[in-house]
Amino acid sequence: MKIIKRINEESKIILKMDTIDDLWYLKNVLNPGDEISVTVYRRVEQNDDLNRPKSTERKRIRVELRIEKIDFQPYTDKLKILGEIISGENIGSHQSVFIGQDDEITVIKNMDSEENKLIEEAVNNYYKNSIVFISLDDEKCLISLLKSYGLQDIGEINSNRSGKDYESKPGDATYFNEIIKTIKTIKNVSSFIILGPGFEHTKLYNAINKDPYFKDIKIYDFPETDSGKRGIYIFMDDKKSENILKESRIAGDEKLIERFLTNLNKNNLSVYGYDEIKKYAVENMIEDLIISEAVFKDPKTRELLNTVTGTDIHVISDYTDSGSIIRNFGGYCAILRYNY
């Protein structure tokens, strides 16, 4: 994400979406009631000659909206915003706009510290490296792209080599060829992490390394106790992933949740539930406040955020295992500096 311009006296900020991940950040910054200005294309009828049928053309115009609804579909390339037009000839009518990569949007609102923090994170592009997981065994392979807000499944490939057929064709390269063909379609990859049980992951690693197409991409090979999505999460929880994933938002969230759960089981330094956490917030005892994305925009969350001081705030994506865990605890978790 890029900040094109700030106009502080008008509470305006002009943003450009550099990546698809930026749409997730924008979704969490915008709220119903906020105002935006975007460029859209509207069909305009022309009738220069009464003897000819009317024709239409798409005209580029600027619209200003007051947001009513935000529709974010994970792992898609557009953010849909529905709002009421607040200026111009169509004032009072409704308009849907779609924000995608390379689009610019002007946001008019007084952002709080946590919203500014999300913008800063997107601008600094902390999690820009495109890491692809290839998690496989001898029957099937899952290919997933690591995003800021979760794992995007690119595809699943079956080996078709189980049972008698597998025994009769142990050297069949079709499985690996199909995997390699698929991962070549993924753009801007910084590294591939190949993992799984058995020997298939190492065989694939060797096959990829022989292909000159991948000469400038880092490729890692790790044995794992399971394959598929479970294998990926097991790897991310393991210390061996730390150096590779150290700049990944999702990996950082996993470590934070692991710390929360450990404290919950071993000592009294983890607490959960809005009312319980607020009690400790008033006493300035909270070191880390962990909030589900689902409750981030709730008015009582904003009240809680205004209560804490010197606390690290973590907004956890709803599209990850970490997000599911936080939601199961009511959306509010915290790690304390100390307890009574």
**261-309 tens-digit pLDDT:** 999 988 889 999 999 999 999 999 999 999 999 999 999 999 999 999 8
pLDDT at residue number 157: 96
Q: How confident is the model at residue 98 (pLDDT cuts 50, 70, 90)?
A: very high
Q: Return d(Cα 177, Cα 237) in angstroms, integer.
A: 30
> What band does 165 get if pLDDT is binned at 50, 70 and 90?
very low
pLDDT digits (tens, 9 = 90+) for 193-204: 999 999 999 999
Specify which residues 74 forms β-bridges with: none
Please say if the pLDDT value at position 32 is more than 70: yes
For residue 300, give the CATH number of its domain: 3.30.1330.30
Can you read off the two tokens belonging to residue 136? 């496989």
Interval 247-264: pLDDT, tens: 688 888 988 999 999 999
222, 247, 272: which is the final residue of a domain? 247
Query: Which of 247, 266, 301 finishes a domain?
Result: 247
Please tell me whether residues 269 and 212 are part of one structural domain. no
- Residues 155 and 85 both lie in one domain: no
Say yes or no: 28 and 86 in one domain: yes
**pLDDT tens for residues 138-155?**
999 999 999 888 888 999
HSE at residue 230, side-chain half, CA atoms within 13 A, is 5
pLDDT for 118: 93
Residue that finishes a domain, picked among 82, 97, 124 = 124
Are 241 and 261 in the same domain? no
pLDDT of amino acid 47: 56
Could you tell me whether strands 78-85 and 94-100 are parallel, antiparallel, or unpaired per DSSP bridges?
antiparallel
Does residue 9 share a domain with residue 119?
Answer: yes
Residue 105: strand, helix, or coil: strand
Task: Specify whether 156 is located in the same domain as 236.
Answer: yes
CATH number of the domain that 188 lies in?
3.30.420.60
pTM score: 0.76
pLDDT of res. 64:
95
Q: Is the pLDDT of residue 226 over 70?
A: yes
186 with 102, same domain?
no
Cβ 64 vs Cβ 142: under 8 Å: no
Most confident range (mean pLDDT) of 41-50, 62-71, 125-134, 233-242 is 62-71
* Residue 168: per-residue pLDDT: 41
CATH number of 73's domain:
2.30.30.870
Higher-confidence residue of 172 and 93: namely 93
Looking at the structure, do residues 164 and 97 belong to the same domain, yes or no? no
Domain count, the chain: 3
- pLDDT value at residue 127: 57
Residues 326 and 275 in one domain: yes
Are 220 and 197 found together in one domain?
yes
Whether 211 and 322 share a structural domain: no
- Region of 31 (left: φ > 0; alpha: ψ -120 to 50; beta: rest) is beta
How does 125-147 read in b/e, with b if 16+ C-beta sit within 10 Å? bebebbbbbbbbbbebbbbbbbb
Q: Quick one: pLDDT band at residue 172, thresholds 50, 70, 90?
A: low
| Mean residue pLDDT across the chain | 89
Do both 137 and 226 map to the same domain?
yes
Q: What is the domain extent for residue 30? A: 2-124
pLDDT at residue 240 in the model? 87
